Chains A and B, each alone.
Chain A
């Protein structure tokens, strides 16, 4: 007992370990990479071990919580002390935060290890080994920031982590900053993520301000204690807090209407997409709502709003995922959709279901992304092999010219990878089954719990989410079929090679977890529910409803079946055999036509935003820059008024005051002296008798004065 108590004080180390790792790599990484032939492995393993130690600490905290389930607040340092305001840098160790820590550090460590293999290819392609260090420094920084986010005991410290992960996201999306469209496409994607997140952060900041105004503190515990009183006294305040917080959530967790940055964020390296843009950072919003559950549960209006946003996002993103050809874009929209599930769940009060799905999704979506990364590199390797091979054979070379600029992420260039990358195929399949919610796999239990809760709590959300579940099964089956089945549709795919063990081992671990992750919260046992109860108080445990399970499984199977009908290998091969000019780009286009066009173009949301927000904003900015700033402030106010006025004043000072008064005085004195001197010099005749006479007269005058006075 006393020993487990001791572990709580280790809480700050979940942040310290990654920070130590990143500092070490920052200062010595370059040297190690230069000196050691195994530099890459050393740097990568240092980062992985830092993340791994963080995971160990999280496990120890979890173990401590088993005996002391109420947790503890571990104060580290005083942060801000102004008058009565005293904000501590303190770690809240409770079941909710430790769950997040376990996910972040656990999945994070596996992704770090995977990255050692994945980023080796990057170094090989760019011939610049220092990129390796940069990558792992950012990754460790991300883990540290995410840990701050999930472990803080107040909204202000949470905000530090919130911004920190946003920064890491920006840095890592722009990791290949010189690539992408026109050589700056990736930088633009990074900027977009940053700016869109800033809109969300503005909401979060406003929410924090109102929280402080209403409660006089940032600390969770006292806020949640006071929440019922404040809700009774000023209901509008809580509505404002929750709605502004929702804006923050839509930014960070990529919900409507701020989800647009996440698909573009796929410009980053795939491990980044897996870690930041699927498993952890984007779930920060879900965590925030779950953490603020005590506030949300008092405001039914906001709960409904959150649920609706989540559910609509889930369906909306799923429809887009159907029409994508980029292997990572499908997963990106799938992530948006799954985040919608979680947000809807925590919105309607099914916190446990939402968190449960967060955990399982972190595992299986990280798995899907990482195996997609494995596929991409496999295809790239095949591409290089083919290129190298064709150099010996001129005629083949000409035939394969079109392959020069092959897009290794386009699923249309894949096919048949099942036989070439067996491990990757099986792990991807495990993730796909979990995502489609096929029984026994982790995703089934968590998604089913959300659907069961939704049927009870919010029928609209239930219908939307069920449709989304159907589409989910459809698009992920389409992806599996297009990527892994059939015959290779390009030389690169034909020569695809399996990834090294350093990448496949983490994949296998994640695959097993996503297969058996459901044991975390099996119906009637409710391990996870009881675990989280210590944080949320008594919560409604999602009951396993056999009809809901049957319906959702049925929907999943229908999705898979429909997908199989359209994309089964024989059919798709026949379709693909037709020359590209005589067929649409996807068999689905024949069936639903314009709807596929809409899905493929992401419902033109980016264009819509460009038309109603971005372009007018740019125009306004241009107007402000050209007219207000340049013409008014610069040309008129600055040049005419300030500079002109100053010049005139200076002219006045120079000509009138300086020349007219000061110089004139000085010169006049000189002239006067000269004139007086000129008249006086006439006295100086040089004749002795004149001087004698003057002396004589002077004597006479002085004596006369002395005598006659």
Chain B
């Protein structure tokens, strides 16, 4: 059985990639994908710990996360569609209406 550190290392790597993706990329869909990546890294950590401690709480939590993520994707993609309809672009640097 692989030690927990491997799982957590992968989780951190995935989370970091996701974070950097959110911060650096401009394509809204890519950013969305990055967010999904961050969620899934967290899911990986949950599952890993769940397995280590032999309790099912973590696994149950993952299902919750996936359900919420699915809902989020639904809402998010709908947002992106209507942004695209309005702006003909999904480059988030073009969407800076909240600038002070």
Please give, as numbers and ranges, the residues of chain B lying within 8 Å of A696 by CB-CB distance: 19, 23
Q: In the complex, what residue of chain A is closest to B96 when comparing beta carbons?
A: A686
A689 adjacent to chain B (CB < 8 Å): yes
Q: Which of A135-143, A539-547, A665-673, A676-684 contacts B (4 or more CB under 8 A)?
A: A676-684
What 0/1 readout, one digit per residue, does chain B (81-100) give for beta carbons within 8 Å of chain A?
Answer: 00000000000110111111
B1 adjacent to chain A (CB < 8 Å): no
A685 adjacent to chain B (CB < 8 Å): yes
A692 adjacent to chain B (CB < 8 Å): yes
Q: Identify A686's interface contact among B19, B24, B97, CB under 8 A.
A: B97
Please give, as numbers and ranges, the residues of chain B lying within 8 Å of A682 by CB-CB distance: 100
Q: In the complex, what residue of chain B is closest to A695 when comparing beta carbons?
A: B22
**Contact in complex: B92, A686 (CB < 8 Å):** no
Please give, as numbers and ranges, the residues of chain A lying within 8 Å of B97 by CB-CB distance: 686
**Contact in complex: A684, B98 (CB < 8 Å):** yes
Q: Identify B99's interface contact among A680, A684, A693, CB under 8 A.
A: A684
In the complex, A693 Cα to B19 Cα: how many Å? 9
Q: In the complex, what residue of chain A is closest to B95 when comparing beta carbons?
A: A688
In the complex, A434 Cα to B98 Cα: how many Å? 122
A708 adjacent to chain B (CB < 8 Å): no
Please give, as numbers and ranges, the residues of chain A lying within 8 Å of B96 by CB-CB distance: 685-687
**Contact in complex: B24, A689 (CB < 8 Å):** yes
What 0/1 readout, one digit per residue, does chain B (31-58) give for beta carbons within 8 Å of chain A?
Answer: 1000000000000000000000000000
Q: Identify B92's interface contact among A683, A687, A693, CB under 8 A.
A: A687
What 0/1 readout, one digit per residue, does chain A (682-709) give for beta carbons within 8 Å of chain B?
Answer: 1111111100110010000000000000
Please give, as numbers and ranges, the residues of chain A lying within 8 Å of B31 by CB-CB distance: 688
Please give, as numbers and ranges, the residues of chain A lying within 8 Å of B99 by CB-CB distance: 684-687
Q: In the complex, what residue of chain A is closest to B100 when comparing beta carbons?
A: A684
In the complex, A616 Cα to B51 Cα: how many Å? 125
Interface residues of A in 97-126 (CB under 8 A from B): none
Tell me the minimal C-beta distance from B56 to chain A in angstroms: 26
In the complex, A40 Cα to B96 Cα: how many Å? 104
Q: In the complex, what residue of chain A is closest to B35 when comparing beta carbons?
A: A692
Please give, as numbers and ranges, the residues of chain B lying within 8 Å of A686 by CB-CB distance: 95-100
In the complex, A311 Cα to B45 Cα: how many Å? 138
In the complex, A681 Cα to B100 Cα: how many Å? 5
In the complex, A169 Cα to B45 Cα: how many Å? 120
Query: Number of A residues contacting the other chain (C-beta, 8 Å)?
Result: 13
Please give, as numbers and ranges, the residues of chain B lying within 8 Å of A687 by CB-CB distance: 92-93, 96, 99
**Contact in complex: A689, B100 (CB < 8 Å):** no
Please give, as numbers and ranges, the residues of chain B lying within 8 Å of A680 by CB-CB distance: 100
Q: Identify B22's interface contact among A683, A684, A692, CB under 8 A.
A: A692
Q: In the complex, what residue of chain A is closest to B22 when comparing beta carbons?
A: A692
Interface-central residue, A688, A693, A696, by most chain B CB under 10 Å? A688
In the complex, A687 Cα to B99 Cα: how many Å? 8
**Contact in complex: B100, A693 (CB < 8 Å):** no
Q: In the complex, what residue of chain B is closest to A681 when comparing beta carbons?
A: B100
In the complex, A429 Cα to B72 Cα: how many Å? 135
In the complex, A696 Cα to B23 Cα: how many Å? 9
Tell me the minimal C-beta distance from A580 to chain B in angstroms: 114
In the complex, A686 Cα to B95 Cα: how many Å? 8
Tell me the minimal C-beta distance from B36 to chain A in angstroms: 15
In the complex, A680 Cα to B22 Cα: how many Å? 25
Tell me the minimal C-beta distance from A501 to chain B in angstroms: 113
In the complex, A347 Cα to B55 Cα: how many Å? 135
Tell me the minimal C-beta distance from B35 to chain A in angstroms: 10
In the complex, A685 Cα to B98 Cα: how many Å? 7
Q: In the complex, what residue of chain A is closest to B99 when comparing beta carbons?
A: A686
**Contact in complex: A692, B23 (CB < 8 Å):** yes
Please give, as numbers and ranges, the residues of chain A lying within 8 Å of B93 by CB-CB distance: 687
Please give, as numbers and ranges, the residues of chain B lying within 8 Å of A688 by CB-CB distance: 31, 92, 95
In the complex, A680 Cα to B100 Cα: how many Å? 9
Please give, as numbers and ranges, the residues of chain A lying within 8 Å of B92 by CB-CB distance: 687-689
Please give, as numbers and ranges, the residues of chain A lying within 8 Å of B98 by CB-CB distance: 684, 686
Please give, as numbers and ranges, the residues of chain A lying within 8 Å of B100 by CB-CB distance: 680-686
Tell me the minimal C-beta distance from A351 to chain B in angstroms: 111
Q: In the complex, what residue of chain A is closest to B19 when comparing beta carbons?
A: A696
What 0/1 readout, one digit per residue, does chain B (12-27) give for beta carbons within 8 Å of chain A?
Answer: 0000000100111000
Tell me the minimal C-beta distance from B20 to chain A in angstroms: 10
Tell me the minimal C-beta distance from B13 to chain A in angstroms: 17
Please give, as numbers and ranges, the residues of chain A lying within 8 Å of B23 by CB-CB distance: 689, 692-693, 696
Please give, as numbers and ranges, the residues of chain B lying within 8 Å of A685 by CB-CB distance: 96, 99-100
In the complex, A692 Cα to B35 Cα: how many Å? 11
Q: In the complex, what residue of chain B is closest to A683 when comparing beta carbons?
A: B100
In the complex, A696 Cα to B24 Cα: how many Å? 13
Tell me the minimal C-beta distance from B92 to chain A in angstroms: 5
Interface residues of A in 639-692 (CB under 8 A from B): 680-689, 692
In the complex, A689 Cα to B27 Cα: how many Å? 11
Tell me the minimal C-beta distance from A675 to chain B in angstroms: 15
Please give, as numbers and ranges, the residues of chain A lying within 8 Å of B95 by CB-CB distance: 686, 688
Please give, as numbers and ranges, the residues of chain B lying within 8 Å of A683 by CB-CB distance: 100
Please give, as numbers and ranges, the residues of chain A lying within 8 Å of B22 by CB-CB distance: 689, 692
Tell me the minimal C-beta distance from A696 to chain B in angstroms: 6
Interface residues of A in 549-580 (CB under 8 A from B): none
Q: In the complex, what residue of chain B is closest to A691 when comparing beta carbons?
A: B98
In the complex, A685 Cα to B95 Cα: how many Å? 11
Tell me the minimal C-beta distance from B41 to chain A in angstroms: 14
Please give, as numbers and ranges, the residues of chain B lying within 8 Å of A681 by CB-CB distance: 100
In the complex, A672 Cα to B13 Cα: how many Å? 46
In the complex, A510 Cα to B92 Cα: how many Å? 128
Please give, as numbers and ranges, the residues of chain A lying within 8 Å of B19 by CB-CB distance: 696
A and B contact pairs by CB, cutoff 8 A, 22 listed: A680-B100, A681-B100, A682-B100, A683-B100, A684-B98, A684-B99, A684-B100, A685-B96, A685-B99, A686-B95, A686-B97, A686-B98, A687-B93, A687-B96, A687-B99, A689-B22, A689-B24, A689-B92, A692-B22, A692-B23, A693-B23, A696-B23
Query: Can you name 19 extra interface pairs (CB under 8 A) apart from A682-B100, A688-B92, A689-B22?
Result: A680-B100, A684-B98, A684-B99, A684-B100, A685-B96, A686-B95, A686-B97, A686-B98, A686-B100, A687-B96, A688-B31, A689-B23, A689-B24, A689-B92, A692-B22, A692-B23, A693-B23, A696-B19, A696-B23
Closest 6 CB pairs of A and B: A684-B100, A686-B99, A686-B96, A681-B100, A686-B98, A688-B92
Q: Which B positions have Cβ atoms within 8 angstroms of A?
A: 19, 22-24, 31, 92-93, 95-100
